[in-house]
Structure formats: structure tokens, C-alpha cells
Amino acid sequence: MPRVLVVDDQKDVRAMVSIVLRVNRYDVVEAESGAAGLKAFGEDVFDAAIVDIFLTDASGIDVIAAIRERAPGFPIVAVSGMTALDFIGEASGLDGVICLQKPFRPNDLLQALRSAQEAGGELSAAV
């Protein structure tokens, strides 16, 4: 069962994402902050991560960059309620991060996660 780390400071968003993933046979670990997310990432093995860009304790971009520093090409979906997530593709080391704007439908989340996993596999194969 694929294991996904969900980093979002909004409890209701984490709960919704977790329910969608669990119904679709993913194992989910929730983190309520960037620090908790990085701690969990360092202590366990994950197949992908879903990270909110705007966290109360940290920048989601910094969290994503830290994950990618530890695991280049790791599959990540960046989510945000803001409109422009395209800048993430221009940041160094964040190639292949899939962006998803809140609010999103369950199928959009699943498709973004599949796309991130495909992009991560391509990046890993290219190394």
C-alpha cells in the first residue's frame, strides 16, 4: 500500500485529503506543520507527499526543497488556495512538483498524485 505524507496546517483539509487517499488504498501520515512534516519524513519511508504551500510555521516551498534535498525527484503535490502555483517550476530542485489549487475535487487530487509519481519515476530513471 503506497504511503503518503500530507502536510497541511488546516485540520479540515488534512482530514479530507486523508479520507480520499485512504478510500483509494493509500496509507496516510498527517502532519500539521512544516516541522512535523519534515520530522515524519526523516523518520519513515514514504512514496509521495502532499504539501501546502502556505503553512503557519514555514514556507511549503522550503519544506518541499528540504524533502527534495534528502530525496531528489521524490513525488510531491504542492497545494494552495492562492491562484498562481506556476512559480514552483522555476525554483531550483523543484522539477516535477505537481501543483494543485484549492479547493480541488477528489479526482483532481488523485490525478495530481499519479502525475507526481510518474514525474518522480521519470526523474529517478534519468539520474
Check: CATH 3.40.50.2300 for 3-126?
A: yes
Ordered by start, the domain boundaries in the chain are 3-126
49: number of Cβ within 10 Å: 28
b/e burial code for range 65-98 (CB count within 10 A of at least 16 → b): bbbbeebebbbbbbbbeeeebeebeeeeebbbbb
pLDDT digits (tens, 9 = 90+) for 38-70: 999 999 999 999 999 989 999 999 999 999 999
Nearest-angstrom CA–CA distance, 80 and 53: 6
Residue range 102-123: mean pLDDT, rounded: 88
If pLDDT is split at 50, 70 and 90, which confidence band does 125 have? very low
The reported pTM is: 0.89
